[in-house]
Amino acid sequence: MTRSPFLVDVSDLLGRDVPARSVVIEVVVDWALEMSRILADPTLVANLSIGPVPGGILVRGEVCYAVEHACRRCLIDFVDDGCSPVAGLFETDPGEDAYPIDGTTIDLESFLRDETLLGLPLLPICKESCEGVVTTPEMGLNTDSPGDSDATGSPFAVLRDLLPPED
Ligand SMILES: [Zn+2]
């Protein structure tokens, strides 16, 4: 039986006056935003400190990951890595900003997903100097030099039209 790597038993902490303990979670995730996707390799690593607070459990720490973004300017995919600070409250009777405690277990998945995705740039850019989508001049359609076109007759006809009319 596989147990979710995000589940942490907090029976040793809940309602007790004990120091926080550290928990490390290394896990393959499939989390994404519109322009960004957390990569499976290397795995996401969360270094957490889990400790009791009145009414619940406080989880703090840092999550590190590799992420593939589509550049907002040039639309080319690029890979970046980063770490985001995370903090969340778990409560038996969760308030608006808290995650639930299920018996003596906390499930860190939605907490870590929320915090990780929140830490990503909203408008990823491959590099500060990115020029955006390069619009290639349509050279291929106009490679004929004006001089060798049969359709328009003599190129001097054009020049003649540009000259001021003679009196
Ligand atoms: Zn770019």
- Cα of 114 from ligand 1 centre, angstroms: 26
- Cα of 129 from ligand 1 centre, angstroms: 8
CB 71 within 8 A of CB 107: no
- Cα of 122 from ligand 1 centre, angstroms: 14
- Cα of 121 from ligand 1 centre, angstroms: 14
Angstrom distance (rounded) from CA 97 to CA 53? 15
The 10s digit of each residue's pLDDT in 130-143 is 988 866 665 555 55
- Cα of 44 from ligand 1 centre, angstroms: 25
The 10s digit of each residue's pLDDT in 53-102 is 999 999 999 999 999 999 999 999 999 999 999 999 999 999 899 999 99
